[in-house]
Amino acid sequence: MTTILVADDDADIRDLVAFKLRQAGYEVVKVEDGVQALDAVRTGAPDLAVLDLMMPGLSGLDVCAQLRREETSAHLPVIMLTARVQEADVAAGFRTGADDYVTKPFSPRELLSRVQALLARAGTATAAR
Amino acid sequence: MILAVFAVTSLVVLLVVAGVVVRRVTRRAQESRVRRLSAEHRPLLLALVAGDPEDARDAAAAVAGLDRASWRVLEPVVIALLGKVRGEGREEVVRLLGARGVLARARADLRGRSAVRRAAAADLLGRADAAGGARGLVRLLDDRDADVRQVAARALGRIAAPAAAPVLLRSLATEPPRVPPATVAQSLLRIGPAGVPDLLAAVDHPVAVVRSTVVVVLGRLGATAAVPALCARLREDALTDVRCRAAAALGAVGLPAAVPDLVAATSTASPSALRIAAARALGDLGASSTLPVLHALLDDDDVRVANEAGTALLSLGPPPGDVAPRSTPAPVGAR
C-alpha cells in the first residue's frame, strides 16, 4: 500500500490531511515536527511526504533539504503545505527540492489531487530511471 | 479570645482550601469532559470538512443535531477550522455555523457592550465570509475601540464586498487614521479589481495617507486602468513619498505608457528618493525602450541611483540580439 508521511504541528491540519488521504486508500503516518519527520522517512520509507513549512525544531524546508541530501530519500516526492504565500517563500520551497506547494487555508480535495498527480509522476519517473 | 480568633482563622483557611480543591476538581472534570466529547465527535468534524460530499452532508446533519452541551464544546473547534480549510469543506463549516445560529449571534454581538465580544463577532463574520454582516462591520469602522475597528476592517477585506472600499478609504481620512493604513491596504487588496473605481476616485484625495494607500494598492493590483492617474501622482503630487510610491506602482503595473513619466522622474531636478524609485520602477517595468536611460544612469553622481540602474539592467538582461557582455553591467556597488 502507498504510504504518505504527514508532518504538521497543527493537530487539526494533520488529522484533516490524514483523513482525506486514508479515505482515498493511502496509508498515512502522522508526525508533529521536523525531527520526527526525518525519523519517519528513515525508518518507514514513505512514498510521499506532505511537510508543513513552519514546524518547531526543523522546518519543512530544513527537512526537505536534508531529505535531498540523503541517498534513500533524494527522490522522495515532497509537497510543502504552508500559510506563507509570499513569492520568495514559494521559491525557497522549490529551491530546497519541494515538488509542489499547497497554501493554507487548503482544500483537502485539491491536496488529494496533487498527491495523486505527484505519485503518478513519481511512478513514471521511477519506471524511467 | 485568642482561641476564638484561632478557630475563626482556621475555619476561613479551611474554607479557602476547600474552595480551591473543589474548583480544581470541577475544572479537571470539565476539561476531561471537553476532551472526551471532542474526541468522540472528531471523526464527524473530519468527515464534515474533508469527507466526500455525501459523508460531509451526513456529518453536517449529525453535528447540526447535537445537543447543546456537546455543541458548546465543539463550537470553538469548528470555528477554528474556518481558517484552516477552503473549498467545499469550508462551505460546510459556514453552513453548519449558520444552522446552529452562531452567525446570527455574531451579527447581534456586533452591537454588544464588550469590545472583546464585538471584535470576536467581527472576526468570525469575516472569516465566515458572512456577507449579511457587512453592514454591521461597516458601522464598526467608527467603533470607539481601535482594536475593534481594525478587526472590522480586516473582516470587510475577507468578505471582499466592493461596497466596503469607499468606507475603508474614509477610515483613513481622519487625523490620525481610524484604522492603520496597512490594514486598510490589505483589505482593499482582498477586495481586488472590483474596488478599483473607488480607488481611482480617491487617488487625488486631499489627505496624503489616503493617496499613498490608494497608489500602493493600485500598483499591487496591477490596475492598468490606473496608469494615467498614477502618472499624474508621479508628476504632480505635493509629497515626494506619494510620488515614489506612484513610481513603484507604475513599475509593478508594467505598462510602457508610464515610461516617459518615469524617465522624467529620474532627472537630476527630481528629489533623490524619487530618482531612485523611478530607476527601480523602470527595471520592474521591463520595457526595452528604457535601456538607454538606465545605461546613462550608470554614470550618475548619486551612487544609489546608479546602483538601482545597474540592478534594473541586470534584471532586464541583454537586449535581443546583443551578445556583448557590456550590455549587462554590474551594479555600481559591486564593481
- Confidence band, pLDDT 50/70/90 cuts, at residue B332: very low
pTM of the model: 0.75
At B13 the pLDDT is 85
- Confidence band, pLDDT 50/70/90 cuts, at residue A106: very high
Residue A129 lies in a domain: no
Residue B242 lies in a domain: yes
At B321 the pLDDT is 57
For B221-284, the DSSP string reads HT-GGGHHHHHHHHHH-S-HHHHHHHHHHHHHH--GGGHHHHHHHTSTTS-HHHHHHHHHHHHH
Domain span holding position B287: 203-321
Nine-digit cell string for B151: 478587526
At A85 the pLDDT is 67
What percent of chain B shows pLDDT beyond 70? 94
Whether residue B206 has a cis bond before it, omega within 30° of 0: no
For B89-147, write each residue's pLDDT tens digit: 888 999 999 999 999 999 999 999 999 999 999 999 998 876 667 888 999 999 999 99
Q: What is residue A32's DSSP assignment?
A: S
Alpha-carbon Rg for chain A in angstroms:
13
Judged against a pLDDT cut of 50, whether residue B329 lies above it is answered with no
Residues of B within 8 A of A16 (CB-CB) are 46, 49-50, 81, 84-85, 89
Nine-digit cell string for B12: 476561613
Alpha-carbon Rg for chain B in angstroms:
29
At B327 the pLDDT is 45
Residues of B within 8 A of A15 (CB-CB) are 42, 46
**Partners of A30 in the β-ladder:** A6
For B260-297, write each residue's pLDDT tens digit: 999 999 999 999 999 999 999 999 988 888 888 899 99
Residues of A within 8 A of B86 (CB-CB) are 105-107
Tally of structural domains, chain A? 1
Residue of A nearest to B55 (CA): A23
Residues of B within 8 A of A23 (CB-CB) are 50-52, 55
Residue B19 CA, distance from chain mean position: 46
Residue A110 lies in a domain: yes
Run of H or E residues at A31: strand A27-31
Q: What is residue B326's DSSP assignment?
A: G
Tally of structural domains, chain B? 1
Residue A88 lies in a domain: yes
Interface contact flag, A105 B49, Cβ < 8 Å = no
For B150-201, write each residue's pLDDT tens digit: 999 999 999 888 889 999 999 999 989 999 999 999 999 999 999 999 999 9
Judged against a pLDDT cut of 80, whether residue B257 lies above it is answered with yes
Residue B179 lies in a domain: no
- Quote the mean pLDDT of chain B: 88
Most B CBs within 10 Å, among A23, A85, A111, A115, to test the B interface? A23
- Confidence band, pLDDT 50/70/90 cuts, at residue B335: very low
- Confidence band, pLDDT 50/70/90 cuts, at residue B317: confident
At B131 the pLDDT is 63
- Quote the mean pLDDT of chain A: 89
Domain span holding position A84: 3-124
Residue B212 lies in a domain: yes
At B133 the pLDDT is 72
Q: Which residue has the cell 499624474?
A: B232
Residues of A within 8 A of B51 (CB-CB) are 19, 23
At B333 the pLDDT is 41
- B329: burial class by Cβ within 10 Å (0-12, 13-18, 19+)? middle
Interface contact flag, B90 A105, Cβ < 8 Å = yes
Interface contact flag, B84 A106, Cβ < 8 Å = yes
Q: Is A87 helix (H, G, I), strand (E, B) or coil?
A: helix
Residue of A nearest to B127 (CA): A105
Residue B140 lies in a domain: no
Residue B271 lies in a domain: yes
Interface contact flag, A108 B80, Cβ < 8 Å = no
Interface contact flag, B52 A108, Cβ < 8 Å = no
Residues of A within 8 A of B42 (CB-CB) are 15
For B140-160, the DSSP string reads HTT-SSHHHHHHHHHHHHHHT
Q: Do the beta carbons of residue B166 and residue B191 sit within 8 Å?
A: no
Interface contact flag, B52 A110, Cβ < 8 Å = no
Judged against a pLDDT cut of 90, whether residue A50 lies above it is answered with yes
Report the relative pairing of strands A100-103 and A78-82 from DSSP bridges: parallel
Q: What is residue A56's DSSP assignment?
A: S
φ, ψ dihedrals at A76, nearest 5°: -65, 125
Residue B159 lies in a domain: no
Interface contact flag, B51 A16, Cβ < 8 Å = no
Domain CATH number, residue A109: 3.40.50.2300
Average pLDDT of span A12-16: 94
Residues of A within 8 A of B87 (CB-CB) are 107-110
Interface contact flag, B49 A108, Cβ < 8 Å = yes
Judged against a pLDDT cut of 70, whether residue A76 lies above it is answered with yes
What percent of chain A shows pLDDT beyond 90? 67
Please tell me the distance from the alpha carbon of residue B211 to that of residue B137, in angstroms, as a whole number: 24
Q: Is B300 helix (H, G, I), strand (E, B) or coil?
A: coil
Residue B216 lies in a domain: yes
- Confidence band, pLDDT 50/70/90 cuts, at residue A7: very high
Q: Do the beta carbons of residue B225 and residue B201 sit within 8 Å?
A: no
Domain CATH number, residue B267: 1.25.10.10
At B326 the pLDDT is 46
Residue B246 lies in a domain: yes
At B334 the pLDDT is 39
Average pLDDT of span B65-94: 89
Interface contact flag, B46 A16, Cβ < 8 Å = yes
User: Is pLDDT larger for residue B310 or for residue B38?
Assistant: B310
Please tell me the distance from the alpha carbon of residue B283 to that of residue B251, in angstroms, as a whole number: 7
